[in-house]
Structure 1
C-alpha cells in the first residue's frame, strides 16, 4: 500500500464494519430494539478513525488529533443514543413502523439495514482519512478555523441534546413541545449542529489533494437529515403525538437553520 492510496484501508474498514454490524443485528434479535444500530454506528466510527490514525500515512500529531476529534464527537453522540433510546427503553417508533411494514420479512430486511449502516460508517470515515494523510508537519490557519468550527458544532449539538433531555425528564412536559434554549430557534437544532460538525472537516481539508472527498460528510448527512432519516420521520411522529401544539411550532419556528421565531397572530377569543 502506498501513502497516497487509501483504498485498502477503506475496504478493510468496510469489511470490519460489515462483520461488526452483523453481530449487532444478531444482538437486536434478542433485545428487540433496533436503535442499537444508531449507537453501533457511532462506536464503529470511533473504531475506524482510531485504526486509521495508526495505519494511515501522514503527520503523526495530526492523525491523532483528527482521531480524537472524531472520537469525542461519536462517543458523545453514541452515549446519548444509548441512554436515550436503548438501555431500558422501548424500541423507537420509527423502527416499530418498519417492522410492521416489513412483516414476515422484517428480520432479513433489518439485516440489510444494519449492513447499510456498515457502508455508512465507511463512507463517513473518508473525511477523517483525507485529513490524516496530510503530510505537512505544521498546522494551517484552515485547520485552526475548522477546529474552532468543530468545537462550536459539537458544543451546540451537546447543548441541544441536554436541553431536550432536561425538558423531557419533567413529567408535566410529556405531551408538550420543547421551546427551551436552542429549541426556541430551530425545531431540530441537534440536527443542524450535527450537519455543521461535518463542515469542520471540509474547512480543515482546504488545499489537500483529495479535499473534495470531505464534502461527502455534510452533503450526505444533510440529505439524510433533511429528506430521509432525520426531520421527516421526527416531524411525523411529533405531529401524531402532540397534534396542534406541534403544528403551531411548525408554523412559527424554523425547521433546521436557527432563526428567531415568528409571532402568530390569533383572533380575539369571545
Structure 2
C-alpha cells in the first residue's frame, strides 16, 4: 500500500511540474519576459519538494526528518525564486532564452514548450532527491544530518553573497560594460552556480545510510548529479558565457583566462 501511495505521489509531482511549466511557457509568451520561466520553476520545485516531503504516507508522518528536509527545500526555493522574481520585475529579458527564441525562429513557440517540459521532468527528478532525504527511516540528528544542514546554510549564504556582489557591481555606473571580478566573482566565473549546485549536495548527506539499510537513499545523488550537468553543460554556463562573449568580447576572454569557470580557486596570474 505504501509503495502504491509513493508511486501516486511521484506521478502527482510529475503532473504538477508539467502544468507549472506549461503556465510558465504561456506567461513568458504573453509578456515577452522569459525570466518568468526560472521564477516559476524555482517556486514549483520548492513547493513540490515540500509537499512530497510532508505527505502522510505513514502513520507517524510528518516526523522531524520530514519537517527539516521540507524546511530546507522551502528555504532554497524561497531565496532563489524571490531573487529571480525581483530581477524579472525590473524588466528586460533573460538573454539565454532570448538567444534560443531567436535561434528557433518560426518554431520558437513549440520548441520552447518542449524545452520547458524537459525542465519540468528535471524538476521532478530533483524532487525525487528531496523525497529520498525526507523519507529516510533513520532518526534525525546524526553527524551526517548536521553536516547536511551546514552545507545548505553555506550554499544559501554563498549564493546570496554572490548575487549581492554582482548587483552592487552593476549598480555602479563606472562599471558599465565591464566584467564583474569582485569578491567571489574573482574566484569563480559563476559562484552563484557553484553554490546552487552545493545546495543539492545536502540531500545525499540527509538520505544515505552508510550501513546500506536504506538503498533508496542513494536516489538523492540524482540531485547534485543532475544539477551539475544542467549548470555546467546545459542551461547554465554555456548560454551565459556565450552571451557574455557577445556583449563583453575581449574583456570576458581575459576574465576566462584568469578565473576558473565553476570550481572556486585563486585567480591565475597572466
TM, length-normalised to structure 2: 0.92
Question: Are 2:254 and 1:251 equivalent residues in the alignment?
Answer: no
Give deviations 1:178-230, integer Å, cap 9, x for gaps.
11111111111111111111111112222032122111111111111111111
The answer as to 2:86 corresponding to 1:80 is: no
Deviations 1:103-139 (A, max 9, x none): 2211111111222222122111011101111233442
1:109, 1:77 → 2: CA distance?
Answer: 26
Select 1:219's aligned residue among 225, 232, 236.
225
CA distance in 1 between counterparts of 2:20 and 2:69 reads 23
Tell me the equivalent position of 2:69: 66
Structure 2 distance, partners of 1:4, 1:170, is 56
C-alpha separation between the residues in 2 aligned to 1:187 and 1:131? Answer: 31
Note closer, same or farther for the CA distance 1:122–1:71 as it changes in structure 2 (3 Å cut).
Answer: same
Map residues 235-246 of structure 1 onto 2, 5 A cutoff.
Answer: 235-246=241-252
| Alignment correspondent of 2:17 | 17
In the alignment, the residues of structure 1 paired with residue 140 and residue 74 of structure 2 have an alpha-carbon distance, to the nearest angstrom, of 22
Q: Which runs of 4+ in 1 moved over 6 A?
A: none
- Aligned residue for 1:136, secondary structure, equals coil
Cα deviation code 1:47-95 (max 9, x no counterpart):
11221233144551211111111111111111111122x2132211221
8 Å Cα contact 1:163/1:181 also seen in 2: yes
Please, which runs of 5 or more residues in structure 1 have no aligned partner?
A: 265-270
1:103 aligns with 2:105: yes
What pairs up with 1:29-178 in 2 under 5 angstroms?
Answer: 29-55=29-55, 56-57=57-58, 60-84=63-87, 86-178=88-180
Alpha carbons 1:59, 1:136 under 8 Å: kept = no
Aligned partner of residue 210 in structure 1, secondary structure: helix
CA distance in 2, matches of 1:117, 1:262: 35
Distance 1:181 1:233 in 2: 23
Q: Using the TM superposition, name which of 52-61 and 152-161 deviates more.
A: 52-61
Q: Could you tell which deviates more after superposition, 112-121 or 182-191? A: 112-121
Alpha-carbon contact 1:145-1:203 (below 8 Å) kept: yes
Structure-1-length-normalised TM-score:
0.92
Check conservation: 1:3, 1:133, Cα contact below 8 A.
no
Q: CA RMSD in A?
A: 1.7
State the shift of 1:165 in Å.
Answer: 1.0
2:35, 2:93 within 8 Å by CA — same for their partners in 1? yes
Q: Distance in 2 between matches of 1:155 and 1:4?
A: 38
SS of corresponding position for 2:2: coil
Q: How many residues align?
A: 263
Listed as ranges, the gaps of 5+ residues in structure 2 are: none
Q: Does the 8 Å CA contact 2:49/2:73 hold for their aligned counterparts? A: yes
